[in-house]
Chain A
Amino acid sequence: MALTGRAPLLALLGIVPVALLPSLWTVLAVALLLLAVTAADVALAGPVSALQVSRSGPTGCRLGTEARVQLSLVNAGSRRLRGVLRDAWVPSAGAGPRLHDVDIPPGERRILTTTLRPTRRGDRHPARITVRSVGPLGVGARQGAHVVPWRLRVQPPFTSRKFLPERLSRLRQLDGLVAARVRGQGTEFDTLRDYVDGDDVRSIDWRATARRSEVVVRTWRPERDRRLLLVLDTSRTSAGRVGDVPRLDAALDAALLLTALATRAGDRVDLLAMDRELRAAVQDVGRNEVLSQMVDAMAGLEPALVESDGRRLASEILRRARRRSLVVLFTTLDRAALEEGLLPSLPSLTSRHTVVLASVGDPRVEEMLLARSEVSAVYDAAAAERHREERRRTTALLRRRGVEVVDAPPAAFAPAVADAYLNLKAAGRL
């Protein structure tokens, strides 16, 4: 049961009879009348339980876009249902409008649209649908709720998509360049063709030439069907917010760009996200499917406040990547975390795979390095200098162990990772 704004107005009108007949009985009579009117109104209101509610619409959207989820209401009762409806979602789903006006005659159906503008990645669920059915006098109302589950999967926005065309054109250049190249590591046999002046004599295929009257050369193209394993570290270091987004989100963005690029280059991409335990994995998915599966798997990833388990991570990588792969580790150049976690198990990885460690740098550190405005700023600069020094040492240590290190601020992170991949591919190191 609920009241509407008319109930207090009606009570206010009751002042007139009380002023005309000043007696306690009048006050009592007015109160009883008000009660009776409200009770009658509530009794005559359309029952909320007779409403049949169902949802339809999209089950996923990218962060930054909006999704329109429809609510279908059928009034199966015998009375008209008039009032307001609140389709409540979790706050980060950004549901609107707050209230829907409903007016459904018996046996009819109405469709309401709730527009969702999610503010975070992950699965967003609706809470209860609360309906307040107002009586014919508009004084009292019945209130009831329905639970209609739904799931809207909010995927990462993939803002680095804009860097893709440029990287793809570099990839095509790479293709063209390498076609004329001699055989080397990271290339594979493409075709046989007639010898033309200028071809490297070392590329003449004597066996084929012997079968024909012409001299035949082999041509090579960049290796294809290589494997990439993208490893996302979701431990506590990934929770740190750089600028406006957590490190993890910058890593997801870069991982998506890399996936899109590598898929076009003919390589196969797998995904692994873990901290102390496995959070998400995408493996052995066809080229056309991999990006959408990846986006779906990434949607629910959240940083966990635990230390990463380097040994487990290494063994998981070794278990999953049986063939030689390019392992891209999205983690942080945090000396303490690396030394205790990953560093001891690094040799087993680098011996079998090419390892790239990608870390999101913090522009705030650069700001602190240059700040001189007051004494505390100078101490900040000293601390930042110390941090940079440690990072540099860690980078040097990793490079000595044969790990490629990418360290870039969030804005340049995704293209930097993509470029590292292209460079490795050009060098035939995949």
Chain B
Amino acid sequence: MTATGSRGRSVARSARGPVLVVLALVLTGVVVASYAATGPKGVLDPRAYNPEGAHAVATLLTHRGVPVRRVETAEAVAGSESTTVFVPIAAALTSSELGQLAGRSGHLVVVGADGAQVAVLGHGLTVAPDVGVEGRSPACTLSAAVAAGDVDLGGTTYRSTGGAVECYATAGRATLVQQGRVTFLGSADLFTNARLARRGNAALALRLLADGSDVQWLLPRPGARDVAGDRSLNDLVPRSLKLAALQLLVVLAVLALWRARRLGAVVTEPLPVVVRAAEAIEGRSRLYRASRSRSTAAEALRAGTRDRLARRLGLGPETTRQGVVAAVVARTGGDPAALDSLLYGAAPTDDDALVVLADDLDILILEVAGS
């Protein structure tokens, strides 16, 4: 027998290296995957419950009788004179789309509009450098802002040359500007689930959005429409990730080279023949069975039993059939005719009869031995 214990240990020892490398690969994959999983999904979505989502403000609006409908493309916005269109991420739309929206809606609320977009929507408005998001006071006459008081605002700032209401400003740069039916906001943090309950965030959000009959929440889903032509998965995967995968292929190749080199050839040797000595007998047994040679099998069993009886009863090899039966009857009693048919009778007709015969012969031997 080989020592399997020590062989198991040595296998474990030699496998330690590859296992460690594979573990490292899996860990890297998990880290990359967990970072990749935190995409823009759910951010400022009126159906999202996560801290960056906006389910809370949507619910409040619905309770006030202002239904919120999430739309994914500018074309899908069903505009009317009393509709408020909310664009929480202005960068997702082109400036021309925003211009059309302004024409089709009662009130347009845009967050984080860039220079081009501002130029299309407003008059005499320019975009100024960003500021941090923090609590700011209104310092203006806009009723919504006055009612809300301090809110969390920041992000894009706007400058106006007149004709616009500027609120929550720092050094002349406003983070909320209302001009006609269009309201510009610097950042959308105050609409998120996480911040809605703070300061006057909720009040400002509701007053800005709930002034119409309904709200069309325009939040384009990535891939919902083609902004810059078709983008396949290949385009969306970052380049660094692709190169990292390439490097992993190199690692795999090196790993294969390392494991592929054996420390010397496999040693072979001729093995001796191993035949079980009883195999021929077993083969003969199967032949008997396959050819249903019950008579041969029964005769072999009977001959063996007769031999054993003769030895035990001290009978010579030339003892006749009658002599054997008589000697056995003299020892055990019993019916001579039955004994004769057991020891010399006809061949059994089926396998069951053969088994019964074998058992009867055994019993006879035991009887003779016991008496």
Contact = CB atoms under 8 A, between A and B. Distances in A.
Given A241-B275, A303-B273, A378-B358, A5 B17 contact: yes
B18 to A, nearest CB: 8
Interface stretch (A22-30, A55-63, A65-73, A158-166): A22-30
A246 B273 CA distance: 9
A91 B2 CA distance: 10
B240 A143 contact: no
Interface stretch (B81-89, B118-126, B156-164, B292-300): B292-300
Interface in A15-41: 15, 18-19, 22-24, 26-27, 30-31, 34
Contact of A379 (B274, B285, B303): B285
Interface string B328-371: 00000000000000000000000110110011001000000000
Interface in B292-340: 296-298, 300-301, 303-304, 307
B273 to A, nearest CB: 5
Could you tell me the dominant secondary structure of chain B's interface residues?
Answer: helix
Contacts of A12: 21, 24-25, 251
A287 interface: no
A392 interface: yes
A387 B281 contact: yes
Interface string A359-375: 01010110011001001
Contacts of B276: 240-241, 364
Given A22-B240, A91-B267, A368-B278, A305 B273 contact: yes
Interface stretch (A105-113, A125-133, A341-349, A411-419): A125-133
A34 B254 contact: yes
Contact of B274 (A18, A96, A241): A241
B243 A26 contact: yes
B254 A3 contact: yes
Contacts of B25: 12
A26 B303 CA distance: 90
Interface string A206-243: 00000000000000000000000000000000011110
Nearest to A387: B281
B301 A127 contact: no
Contact of B303 (A22, A98, A143, A389): A389
Interface stretch (B46-54, B174-182, B257-265): B257-265
Interface residues of B, number: 60
Nearest to A386: B300
A300 to B, nearest CB: 12
A378 B21 contact: no
B96 interface: no
B264 A2 contact: no
B271 to A, nearest CB: 8
Interface string A71-97: 000000000000010101111100010
Contact of B358 (A18, A247, A381, A388): A381
A383 B257 CA distance: 58
Contact of B267 (A90, A143, A364): A90
Contact of A388 (B10, B21, B304): B304
Given A362-B278, A382-B285, A8 B255 contact: yes
Contacts of B255: 8, 11
A4 interface: yes
A118 to B, nearest CB: 12
B286 A365 contact: no
Interface residues of A, number: 72
Contacts of B17: 5
A383 B281 contact: yes
Contacts of A247: 277
B300 A385 contact: yes
B28 interface: yes
A382 B298 contact: yes
A416 to B, nearest CB: 17
B248 to A, nearest CB: 7
Contacts of B267: 88-91, 127
Contacts of A84: 263
A296 interface: no
Given A7-B254, A22-B243, A27-B247, A365 B261 contact: no
Contacts of A96: 6
Contacts of A362: 277-278
B358 A383 contact: no
Interface string B52-96: 000000000000000000000000000000000000000000000
Contacts of A27: 243, 246-247, 250
A240 B277 contact: yes
B28 A372 contact: no
A31 B250 contact: yes
Nearest to A99: B263
Nearest to A94: B2
A157 interface: no
A23 B300 contact: no
B364 to A, nearest CB: 14
Given A241-B275, A383-B282, A372 B359 contact: yes
A175 interface: no
Contact of B297 (A7, A89, A127, A378): A378
A15 B264 contact: no
B39 interface: no
B40 to A, nearest CB: 22
Interface string B2-14: 1000100010000
A186 interface: no
Contact of B285 (A1, A14, A22, A376): A376
A368 B281 contact: yes
B263 A143 contact: yes
A372 B277 contact: no
Interface string B233-259: 000001110011011101100110110
A130 B264 contact: yes
Contacts of B278: 362, 364-365, 368
Contact of A389 (B247, B258, B298, B300): B300
A9 interface: yes
B41 interface: no
B307 A392 contact: yes
Nearest to A360: B277
Contact of B288 (A7, A98, A240, A382): A382
Given A143-B263, A365-B281, 10 more contacts: A11-B250, A127-B265, A369-B304, A378-B358, A382-B285, A382-B297, A383-B282, A383-B297, A386-B300, A389-B300
A-B interface, 5 closest residue pairs, ranked by CB to CB distance from nearest: A240-B277, A130-B264, A382-B297, A22-B240, A385-B304
Interface of B: 2, 6, 10, 17-18, 21, 24-25, 28, 238-240, 243-244, 246-248, 250-251, 254-255, 257-258, 261, 263-265, 267-269, 272-279, 281-282, 284-286, 288-289, 296-298, 300-301, 303-304, 307, 351-352, 354-355, 358-359, 362
8 contacts: A5-B18, A15-B248, A18-B244, A19-B244, A22-B238, A380-B281, A382-B296, A383-B288
Interface of A: 1-5, 7-9, 11-12, 14-15, 18-19, 22-24, 26-27, 30-31, 34, 84, 86, 88-92, 96, 98-99, 119-120, 127-130, 132, 143, 145, 239-242, 246-247, 302-303, 305, 360, 362, 364-365, 368-369, 372, 375-376, 378-389, 392
